[in-house]
Amino acid sequence: MKTAYDLLLEAPDSQVMRLKLAYLYIASGNFLDAAHFLDNAAKETDGDFSCGCSELSNYCYKCLDAKRISH
C-alpha cells in the first residue's frame, strides 16, 4: 500500500489539492475526511493511482473503526 505522501508525489495535476488535504487529514487523525478525499480521487482517475487511493481510503476506514472501538 502506498502512503499519502507517495500518492501526493504521483498525483495528476487535477488531484494534487485533494491529495494534500487527504495527507493533512491523515496526519491529524481525521480519517473520515481523508477517506472522503481519497474516494473521490479514486473515482475521478484510473490506473495505479486510482488503486492506490482506494487502498489508502480503505485503510482510513479501518483506522476510523479502530478509533471508534477504542473510545
Give the pLDDT confidence score for residue 42 in this predicted structure: 98
Query: What is the C-alpha to C-alpha distance for residues 12 and 44, in angstroms, rounded to an integer?
Result: 11
pTM (2 d.p.):
0.92
pLDDT given at position 71: 63
Cell numbers for 22: 487527504
Dmax (CA) of the chain: 38
pLDDT at 24: 98
pLDDT in tens, 20-57: 999 999 999 999 999 999 999 999 999 999 999 999 99
DSSP state of 1: -
